[in-house]
Structure 1
Amino acid sequence: MADKNTLTDAVHDLLRKAIIEQALKPGMRLPEDTVGEQFGVSRTIVRHALVRLENEGLVVTYKNRGAFVAEPSKVEAQHIFEVRRCLETEVIRVLCQGIHKDGFDRLEAHVRHEDAVRGKNDPVSIRLAGEFHILLAELTGNHVLARYVSEVVLRCSLIMSLYARNHSSECAVDEHSQIIGAIRAGDQARAAEIMEHHLGAVAGRAELTAQPDSIQSILSHYGKELAN
């Protein structure tokens, strides 16, 4: 029998994967007994896993109601993307100063994995796209930076499942390859430019800025009443 910490890690990782791959939708309730039955673990193990997910911003817990997959507001989502841009700009700066050759091997292997599922499985593509950015941060060797990047990337994946129109695996894979190329060349300005465009496109698909209706569309309904 696996020990408590190992089981908690496993349940945490599986629930997080299910959230990021959009199998568990924002707002969905996560009853401890149901989750425990499905994974064959105690409610205590599930509770510890849910606390970790709450600390990562993926789950919220309400008194007397239980745990739910988080539903970030559009304002909160905008703030998360702003922080992500700042953190990933720092990642680019550090990596352009130096990265072990093994790092490029790992990045390119990851992109090949992304390419293999391109257009075949959007939930997995979304998860892999986020993991590429987490890997970039881990390769800086700065564990604090990697931790914060991991948190905001995971929360962005949740945001995309709530607000995004679609996922473009074509753009993600191509731009990831371009980022690797710019880092390999030590071209910080170019790598940062690609990253900024890339993250801007992701945020754009989330439609976080409400578009006001035109006066034509607003009044068309009333015009129909006049016609009657």
Structure 2
Amino acid sequence: MSDSKSTLTSAVYDLLRKAIIEQALKPGMRLPEDTVGEQFGVSRTIVRQALVRLENEGLVVTRRNRGAFVAEPSKEEAQQIFEVRRILEMEVIRILCDRIPQSGYDQLRAHVQKEQGVLGRDGPVSIRLAGEFHILLAELTGNEVLARYVAEVVLRCSLIMSLYARSHSSDCAVDEHSQIIDAIEAGEAERAIGIMTHHLGAVQGRAELAAQPDSIRAILSHYGRELVQ
């Protein structure tokens, strides 16, 4: 692929990913190559290559004879993704408490300032910036493989939240992000891990991922147990 085509593909990929994470493109929404190409002024080939990258990250699915769609993760898949995310981000914290470039603190605090700048004003941007904070943490470990995996699960979690979340509390997120930075800087790994665990638990808790009873028998079974006691 020529450099110009590669650059165009990356630009279209970045714009589509941003639109998905900011919830402008909703789960299940169809992404026709011709329409996307017209809007961005690029060929269908460029769009197709961008969609393949998004599909590899789990943000887009291709359905035979129907084209590409924004992914709709099942609740079971969502629970698995959050489980993997917790494992990866705990390791990120441990590494950063052992080694982090001194400039990393400035980068993290500058990012938190961006998050504070949109509090209460731009929900979609707030959600995207919250995810990017976690990606930045992973990048600062210097482990490119770990950073790539964290980026993928964070982006997929953002998609999950747009599908299942009841609400988004950016105030809480920004405050805890600052607490995580302070704990890492103090070298207090267990405190930083504790804050991150609570933080990710709160994020997952805003998504209704528990299986819902689908029959009157299942709904009333709980109440029936009280009758026989």
- Same fold? TM cut 0.5: yes
Structure 2: 5+ residue stretches without partners: 221-229
The reply on whether 1:83 has 2:84 as its aligned counterpart is yes
The reply on whether 1:35 has 2:36 as its aligned counterpart is yes
The reply on whether 1:207 has 2:183 as its aligned counterpart is no
1:124 is aligned to 125
Shift of 1:100: 1.3
Q: Which amino acid aligns with 1:22?
A: Q
1:190-221: per-residue Cα shift (whole Å, max 9, x none)?
A: 000000000000000011113559x9xx67xx
Matched position secondary structure for 2:68: strand
1:169 is aligned to 170
Q: Which amino acid aligns with 2:17?
A: R
Following TM superposition, where does structure 1 have runs of at least 4 consecutive aligned residues deviating by more than 4 angstroms? none
1:110 is aligned to 111
- Write the distance in 2 (CA, Å) between the matches of 1:90 and 1:100: 17
1:197 is aligned to 198
- Write the distance in 2 (CA, Å) between the matches of 1:211 and 1:178: 35
Q: Which amino acid aligns with 1:126?
A: I
CA change 1:90–1:126 in 2 (3 A) is: same
Alignment length (residue pairs): 216
Shift of 1:98: 1.7
1:152-193: per-residue Cα shift (whole Å, max 9, x none)?
A: 000000000000001100110000000000000000000000
The reply on whether 1:67 has 2:68 as its aligned counterpart is yes
1:20-73: per-residue Cα shift (whole Å, max 9, x none)?
A: 000000000000000000000000000000000000000000110000000000
- Scaled by the length of structure 2, what TM-score is found? 0.92
Matched position secondary structure for 1:89: helix
2:21 is aligned to 20
- Write the distance in 2 (CA, Å) between the matches of 1:162 and 1:121: 18
Identical amino acids, percent of aligned pairs: 80
Matched position secondary structure for 1:3: helix
Matched position secondary structure for 2:62: strand
Q: Which amino acid aligns with 2:7?
A: T
- Write the distance in 1 (CA, Å) between the matches of 2:46 and 2:208: 37
Matched position secondary structure for 2:146: helix
1:180 is aligned to 181
- Scaled by the length of structure 1, what TM-score is found? 0.92
- Write the distance in 2 (CA, Å) between the matches of 1:188 and 1:209: 31
Matched position secondary structure for 1:71: coil
1:102-133: per-residue Cα shift (whole Å, max 9, x none)?
A: 00000000000000001111100000000000
1:144 is aligned to 145
- Write the distance in 2 (CA, Å) between the matches of 1:212 and 1:158: 24
- Write the distance in 2 (CA, Å) between the matches of 1:24 and 1:94: 35
Structure 1: 5+ residue stretches without partners: 220-228
* CA RMSD in angstroms, aligned pairs only: 1.5
